[in-house]
Amino acid sequence: MTSKSDAVPEESDQQQQTQAVQSEAKTAEQDPAQSVAPAESKSVPPMQKEKQKVYRPSDERPDHNNQRLSLLGIECYESPRLKLYTDIDPKLAQKLPAVIEQFYPALENYFGPLPPNREGTEFQVTGYIMQDRERFEKAGVIPGLLARIINGRHQGAQFWMESQTEEYYLRHLMLHEYTHCYSMIMKNIGAPVWYLEGIAESMATHRIGADGKFQFNVMPHNKNDFAGLGRISLIQEAVQNAPPPTMLDVMQLTPDDFAKDDAATYSWSWALCQFFDKHPRYQAAFRELAHHMQGAGFSEKIKQVVGPDPVEVNDAWLLFARNLQPGYDSKRAMISFIRGQDLEKDSSKTEIIDAYRGWQSSGVHVTRGETYKVSATGMFTLAQQPKPWKSTADGISFQYFNGQPLGRLLMMIRPDPDNASRMKTLLREYPQGAEAVWMAPASGTVYFRLNDAWNSLNDNEGAVQVKVTRNPQVTGNTPEK
């Protein structure tokens, strides 16, 4: 079991549904009033029948005696979208329903509005935040059939969670479980568990603006404002010791994997959702998944997200996972994989490499064993505060990032994707500077970037001209990482 500051949400009650999606899903319930035959004896042609109306399940939450619970030390705090029962500090508890009121429109915007129920009542969730779990057990508000609650669990329009030592993470876990209640309230959920948990983690990740308004589904930009979350730190530690899991590895996570109370499992599912959700190329198709969570529709939609080249998407994912840091700039870090052209012997090609972007194609395809020379000219600016730092492709010797001078020209060769083993191959980086000669370690397309933190690209200006020459007069060695 993890400590409360590094807590992970518990697996949802409906995760087992994701393992057996029926081929023909019943995604709607029919209004009996619409099924009454008309007075005329003639049958109504199928195309003229009124469209079957969809309802969300009826509200089956139990009613509690609030006065009795108060005598037991459990107070009720209510808003239109949340009825909260808790024994935590009242000063904190009374602020939580207002957070949900800001959260609810974000859920509607992302997943779409919920259909009405037959009774016409508004959607509301009952939550239980427990500092002393035994108190809630004695009160009889934890169903006997409910599986163990380590940190959080939901069932229908109710959730139960342990209190947390960090105020941020208490709100985060509440938002995570509320996302489950909202997004999984309909029947026959067919979305896989990596998505269900990853998107709940994504929606719950929030920050508070200077005006007091909440922003949801954000990329953490520092550690202090997201105290207790630790997702990025866990990933950074993991990739220092081993390659990141492939995209397919994450997509094949099972409910049992999440049941182990492993913070890393939640971190990887969150990271994959963030990769797709924030990536300019994949964002629109990925966000469409939220509208196809029932039945078998999700499986078809995820194929559209990945597209015809899973190796390309996986390479982009592995770069994201390897370089993830607070404030990671997905827009400027986006890479376009376009196969370069082979150079004739003793010929060269020049490309502009911008300082404010991540990896950029040189347009050159190299052949294993052949010798190439890279030369870069030009000046660019890194950062603006406290003052602009001017640099060449050799970089700034007094400031480093990832073991290399800030601004140094870096090279990456993307090997030709000729077999399935490429899915697990990390793209290696090689420092170049203003001039380097080397022998190609593999056949593939060359990419360059000017070294800088992935959360600091936005204030860079300028570019360098990089020339790649094949078979220069100087003999080269295999480039060193």
Nearest to 74 by CA among 36, 127, 21, 37: 127
Predicted local distance difference test score (pLDDT) of residue 47: 46
pLDDT single digits (tens) 299-333: 999 999 999 999 999 999 999 999 999 999 999 99
CA 464 – CA 449 distance, rounded (Å): 10
Q: For 50-54, 174-178, 380-384, 467-471, which range has the lowest pLDDT when averaged over its residues?
A: 50-54
State mean pLDDT over 74-93. 99
Torsion of CA 440, 445, 450, 451, to 10 degrees: -70
pLDDT tens for each residue of 216-264 = 999 999 999 999 999 999 999 999 999 999 999 999 999 999 987 689 9
Can you tell me which residue has the tokens 């060449």?
A: 392
Structure confidence at residue 5 (pLDDT): 42
The answer to whether 165 and 151 have CB atoms below 8 angstroms apart is: no
Domains and CATH numbers, the chain: 1-20+54-328 (1.10.390), 333-470 (2.60.120.430)
What per-residue confidence (pLDDT) applies to 9?
54
Largest CA distance in the chain: 93
Q: 136: closest CA among 169, 155, 163?
A: 163
Please provide the distance, in angstroms rounded to a whole number, between the alpha carbons at the two ends of the chain.
39
> Average pLDDT over the chain, rounded to whole?
89
Distance CA(359)–CA(197), nearest Å, equals 30
For residue range 122-174, list pLDDT tens digits in order. 999 999 999 999 999 999 999 886 767 778 999 999 999 999 999 999 999 99
Read off the tokens for 468: 């790649």
CA 151, CA 164: separation in Å to the nearest integer?
9
| Confidence class for position 50, pLDDT limits 50, 70, 90 | low
- Dihedral sign computed on CA atoms, order 389, 394, 398, 403: positive
Give the CA angle between residues 358, 364, 366 to the nearest 5°.
110
What's the whole-model pTM score? 0.87
